[in-house]
Chain A
């Protein structure tokens, strides 16, 4: 598929212009009314995209993916339904479970809450992109070692949230880990092991408190 999307679609879109409008209008009132009106006219004259499919280029795990998508398609759907990257999971499609967490220029986001067209020009990392040369990252290794997963459906989301945390905070406290995972749900109840795994990935070992006692 040929991609005809602009190289840097975020540079001067109608959206960014309108976003800045609020502050501009508030600080420099009447003097600028004319300019504002002119700009608005220009913005409205810009081609409205959709409702039909438009070419979209995503930068995922360091690779360019070119797709033809209706503008209303989310980043999560683009990954899961239009490419083969099904690592990010759908648990709610409405910003409440975190199963869809991906990195957006290193920040964890809910992929179900971002339109694919808005994600253009940003570096997206999914769980499939964490292992380098077949070597799992520290968080992935710790998840396996601490058994921080059962069904595993929430796992990619938690792994991404904790990977993002460790990128900016090398030695998080337990509370900081909990805060970073506040947007992720796990119904199998792996939370104690997830916490242990996150701390382990940061270099802090927590021994299991489980005791085995013989009945006889």
Chain B
């Protein structure tokens, strides 16, 4: 019998399905993947160090640019961790506004991902449809913050802008529309033969594996673990009746369904937040330098838990800022999911954890 030949196929750093540079060295036997070695570092900039060199208020803008897709939540989280360092509480209206913008960015991120997933298995029309819906949310963001992608809306002590009643009405209309259209398109995603053929039973991550590997976000919730940082009730989530969304199967399909349902849930959260938002101040003045102390903050990004740690030393600069991002927790899961699959399924499975390399490598 002839020996099975092993081939090593590089996946990345420049690859059509990934907008970002990561390399996976995939060892195959025929079409079957037997081993995967990730090579990261293509996106490393040194943001944590840069945050020590700059004044602490300027770091908001650097932290927002850790990742452009979830930039709003990065900015909010940095502000929250500094507020905790100072020990100040922001006005309730600011908390609601942060929730509204965070949820908008979650919708935009999930719709973007659903589109990319469709693109990964060649369903180009669905890619276009999801991105068409997403543009509406970006319009709402532009209307309320002035920017499509990097909003820079949080400041230390609150938020930079208010949403007035006219904008609020427009936003509510947009969110309702987005919800309706996502529901319709979601039916296609859930029932389409092609989608199922490419995702059901592919890239399985069991509940035990997900817990042992410390996964986060939809990857974890797609494997039947009800864990979501929003359950802590930070910002205004405690008042909004939030329930995590869980799917049982742990395959790529389950993860897609989690994200689809979360998109709809985020629409509901925004509508609810708009109905409950209190009047009042949107920011307070925070004076002085960060005290010599430590603070942590955990928030739920579209991709999972993000962890911020800040240490002050009484000067304008921080002693240390540490960010732990969700994709870092999910890459080990990828190494469990990939071996045993077909080479053609690699793009879909890689996408199913929604990798965000610029977050991971900072």
Partners in one complex: no
B interface, CB within 8 angstroms of A: none
